[in-house]
Amino acid sequence: MAELRDLYQEVILEHSKAPRNYREPAGTNHKAEGYNPLCGDRFTVYLEMDGDSIRDIGFQGAGCAISKASASMMTQSVKGKTRAEAEKIFEQFHELVTGHSHEHEAELGKLAVFSGVSEFPVRVKCATLAWHTLEAALEGKQEKVSTE
Amino acid sequence: MTAAAAVPIRERAANKTFDVERIRQDFPILRTKVHGHPLVYLDNAATSQKPQTVIDALVRYYEGENANIHRGVHYLSELATAEFEKARETVRAFVNAARASEIVFTRGTTEAINLVAQTYGRVHVGAGDEVLITAMEHHSNIVPWQLLCEEKGAKLRVAPINDAGELLLEEFEKLLGPRTKVVAVAHVSNALGTINPLKQMIAMAHAHGVPVVVDGAQAAPHIAVDVQELDCDFYAFSGHKMYGPTGIGVLYGRHALLEAMPPYQGGGDMISSVTFEKTTYNKLPHKFEAGTPDMAGVAGLKAAIEYMNGIGIAKIAAHEHGLLEYATEVVGAIEGVRLIGTAREKASVLSFVLDEVHPHDIGTILDQQGIAVRTGHHCAQPVMERFSIPATVRASFAVYNMRAEVDALARGIRKVREVFA
């Protein structure tokens, strides 16, 4: 069951049980909703943008442990970052969870715990749902993002 | 140790004349190992596995019988045509239809329902009319009717269910009225396992002069279907859920209704003569079978029905019912498990949720132990909404499943609880 522990690392389980920034920030000026019709995961990501910077970020919704922990840790990692920085982190994160590249693992810091996802291809969408939603919120898209 | 002694005692005790170990030998895929564990296949409501006889029928068709039907005068075409029509007779007997011409081959249940919606429905449903379904329908028995209602300006009405997942029969009856033009209902719910009281529902609909379309996808593999006894007007089911190949399904339709309906698709085989001015349609059931059909699939479906008949539908049902009762007991006893769908009359399906753990996570952890279950909304999102849950875990049983596999499932769920403790 070694692979299972790779996926369900303690940090991931902990974040899924007690997600950080699980709220709508008072100064929210951008938001987007993400939905994975395959498993019913549904998240809203809220942004308080200050020019090009993410001054505050929160999320709410329901989903599996992987998607919830990913959303929680995403909010921590992009808070205070510029849009370009956040998008770069997503790019590196995406390469990590799809197994394309582990070269940015060190840069990703805590987010590297999601590297086990690459062994479970059907779960990649769970790990990236919140990120896709963040991207939509940054772009100011109003329509719902779907993983399908 | 004798061969018989190798079978766990309780497996034999469950049904003295039913040897599940021997049945398992008929299904080559059950020898598969998944992540180092023997495959425990509990996703039968999505699709069942296939016995060797069905696989052989497909090979035999392509090796010795392949030719286009109803066309050539040559030997192979005549052979293929004869086999195709023999299979239609096998299907007729399987659902006890009065005539073989009432059996239309389709790609599956979905196409069969769409066929009825697009032919009977488009003729008989008009602006302000109503189509009545239930709250436990699969998307394939919702969306075809929604499309029809949108096109015609008609209204889709939905009969509610109770917290156990049973249809509220009185509410259903109240929703029948002069505007109701079609009733469409599942025989067995794919998400909840509920067996609907079809005979009563059909009698109620007929009292209002309304025909009933039955989605039999989850019933045909598990319980004896008798369309004459049910008195239903249409009955749709799929081969792949009842040990047959994918891509083949059946629509039973009452002869007089089929006769009066316009064709579904145009093409070869469904015509008796074509000129640029006028086309005369072929007689039943060929009017509804445009184009070259899935002849190999039909041969496989025939083999699947013969396989089921060889065991006996009553024995299959009894075995699966025993498994479902056992699973309800052992899975239901696990702390944190909530069963979704606790109707008094159920077939094959055990749907559940586990406190604090999303079904998708449960599915992944079970898969690591070789256990295949379905997780998600099961193409029945309104059912999930009814129970205020995003998804469930669904274990569904077939003739080759064993109590030992139910035990494996229960162990697997306990493992999930450990991981998430």
Per-residue pLDDT band for B9 (boundaries 50, 70, 90) equals: very low
pLDDT of amino acid B1: 36
Tens digit of each residue's pLDDT (9 = 90 or more) over B231-273: 999 999 999 999 999 999 999 999 999 999 999 999 888 888 8
pLDDT of amino acid A144: 66
Residue B76 DSSP symbol: H
Sequence spans of domains, chain A: 2-139
Say yes or no to pLDDT of B355 above 60: yes
Kindly state whether B366 is in contact with chain A, defined as any CB-CB distance less than 8 angstroms: no
In chain A, the percentage of residues whose pLDDT exceeds 70 is 94
- Nearest by CB to A39, from B357, B375, B419: name it: B375
* Catalytic site residue from B379, B391, B393, B410: B379
- Nearest by CB to B360, from A4, A42, A64: name it: A64
More reliable by pLDDT, A101 or B151 = B151
Determine contact, residues B58/B296, Cβ cutoff 8 Å. yes
Sort out which chain B residues have CB atoms less than 8 A from A38's CB and list them. 376
Mean pLDDT of chain B: 94
3-class state of residue B117 by DSSP = helix
Give strand pairing partners of B37.
Answer: B34
Per-residue pLDDT band for B377 (boundaries 50, 70, 90) equals: confident
Which domains are delineated in chain B? 4-31+312-419 (3.90.1150.10), 54-310 (3.40.640.10)
pLDDT of amino acid B12: 47
Say yes or no to pLDDT of B4 above 50: no
Give which of B35, B361, B418 to mutate to test A binding, by max A Cβ within 10 Å. Answer: B361
- Return the CATH number of the domain spanning residue range A2-139: 3.90.1010.10
Helices (H), B61-197: 75-95, 109-116, 122-124, 143-152, 169-175
pLDDT of amino acid B2: 41
pLDDT of amino acid A118: 92
Kindly state whether A18 is in contact with chain B, defined as any CB-CB distance less than 8 angstroms: no
Number of CB pairs < 8 Å for A and B?
Answer: 51
HSE of A6, CA atoms in CB hemisphere, 13 A: 12
Determine contact, residues A27/A48, Cβ cutoff 8 Å. yes
pLDDT of amino acid A147: 66
Determine contact, residues B106/B115, Cβ cutoff 8 Å. yes
Mean pLDDT of A66-84: 97
